[in-house]
Amino acid sequence: MDSVSERGRNTLNLMSFMNVQAAQVLPDIYNEQKNPKGFINLGIAENCTCEEVICTKVQECLTFNPATQYYYPFGGKLNFRNALADFLSERLAKGMELDPKKIVVTSGVGAAFDMMAHMFAEREDCFLVLAPFYSAIEYDVFLRSGVKLHHIHRPVHDTNKLRAFSFDEELLEQGYQEAIDLGHKVKAIIVINPGNPTGMIHTRLELLTASKFAQRHDIHIIYDEIYALSVFGDDAEFISALSMPELLTNDKSHFMWGFSKDFGISGIRCGMVYTNSAEYLKGANKLSYFGGVPSVIQDALARMISDKAWLDDVYFPTNLQRLRENHDVMEKGLTSLGIICHPVKAGFFIYANFSKYMKEQTTAEELKLFNEFKAAKVYLIPGTGLKSKEVGWFRVTFTNKQEAVARGDFTQIRILGSRLDRIEAVLKQRS
């Protein structure tokens, strides 16, 4: 350890809850033939439901030629930024034209967060975030830049004033004041929409409230919409920040999206930021030298998202239908075990309340239950790992590999059965 810098030591020591768990689970994943006693993965935020559709398409779009052989603009080739601008204008901005010059390509949304912290905050400054949330962002902003997150807890249940996982001006102001009282300088607020783990879709009013709050305090606002095109509920209305010009007016408002979720290609490592901030664009373009999305990949993805017939007739209808089907099967299974599921219309998860099976309503008991699930070789994420204030909640992913592979026929029911069997066996011992 002596040969390692302090920065290096911090890097070695820092582990997010999800990273630690994933490192234990991934080498021992369930496989019907090769590892039937392995972990049933209901934890990792991957959508494998369209694996064959995406694999075929990406293979068709990949080409290597002299044009992809040499250095290129790491922060986004013009053809790719043009394709992204067209794609997002049509799918999320509801026709408002995006300017390709305001796009920077990043190696995933996680990398975009790292660069946000690098560009806009000093060590020990903080970003506000609405909790519960995808807690690995804590790692993304801290690992290199030392930026902290301060959580603003949203109520898990409807209250007189707020629906579950919603927020208002008062809640945001309270969170801001808490952070100041703790001695932090607040530099930004992060709004994840649709939510992970909640699947929560924010309303126009909530988005306006957050934007006004950010302007009032002169802080940055970061809209993470990585699940924006995974809205599967029939009557769900999703409003993207890109479709509300009043949200992206100043140079402190930033939109993020990526390919990991809506296209289920987290292995390709590609995300993007749309921003008015000339500083972020310039900084991120420089930093992307250290982790640029390869030229071949940018070209392939540009081709894929420009194929409107495939998107409209094949990919999106198939993906949304499979998300819906998988969600319904999982919700039914959990409900049959007496688990209360938060209603969800977007994303890959059900946020479910297991507190009726907990002897005490404490974090220690929630983690005990989590460890019992792990011992029974089923992996789901406890609310504690997602910075939930209320205990007893677990995030259950319904898009992981085993169900995707077996989707649509009796095998799905069988495999889902065995998966819920493992949850059920643990819960039975507790009742």
Ligand X SMILES: Cc1ncc(COP(=O)(O)O)c(C=O)c1O
Least separation, in Å, of the C-beta of 426 and ligand X? 25
Partners of 188 in the β-ladder: 127, 220
Q: Closer to ligand X by CB, 132 or 333: give it.
A: 132
Least separation, in Å, of the C-beta of 399 and ligand X? 12
Whether residue 294 is preceded by a cis peptide bond, meaning omega within 30 degrees of 0, is: no
Least separation, in Å, of the C-beta of 46 and ligand X? 8
Letter string b/e over residues 312-344, b meaning 16 or more CB atoms within 10 A of that residue's CB? eeebbeebbebbebbbebbbebbeeeebebbeb
46 vs 348: CA distance, rounded Å: 8
Q: Closer to ligand X by CB, 29 or 45: give it.
A: 45
Closest CA to 100 of 85, 79, 80: 85
DSSP for residue 409: S
Least separation, in Å, of the C-beta of 129 and ligand X? 10
Q: Closer to ligand X by CB, 266 or 411: give it.
A: 266
Nearest residue to ligand X, using CB? 108
79 vs 297: CA distance, rounded Å: 12
Q: Closer to ligand X by CB, 196 or 319: give it.
A: 196
List Cβ neighbours of 146 (8 Å cut-off, separation of 6 or more): 10, 123, 124
Q: Closer to ligand X by CB, 40 or 192: give it.
A: 192
Residue type, 120: F
Q: Closer to ligand X by CB, 196 or 253: give it.
A: 196
Closest CA to 402 of 10, 52, 29: 29
Least separation, in Å, of the C-beta of 49 and ligand X? 16
Residues near ligand X (CB under 6 A) are: 45, 108-110, 134, 192, 196, 224, 226, 258, 260, 266, 271
Least separation, in Å, of the C-beta of 192 and ligand X? 5
List Cβ neighbours of 332 (8 Å cut-off, separation of 6 or more): none
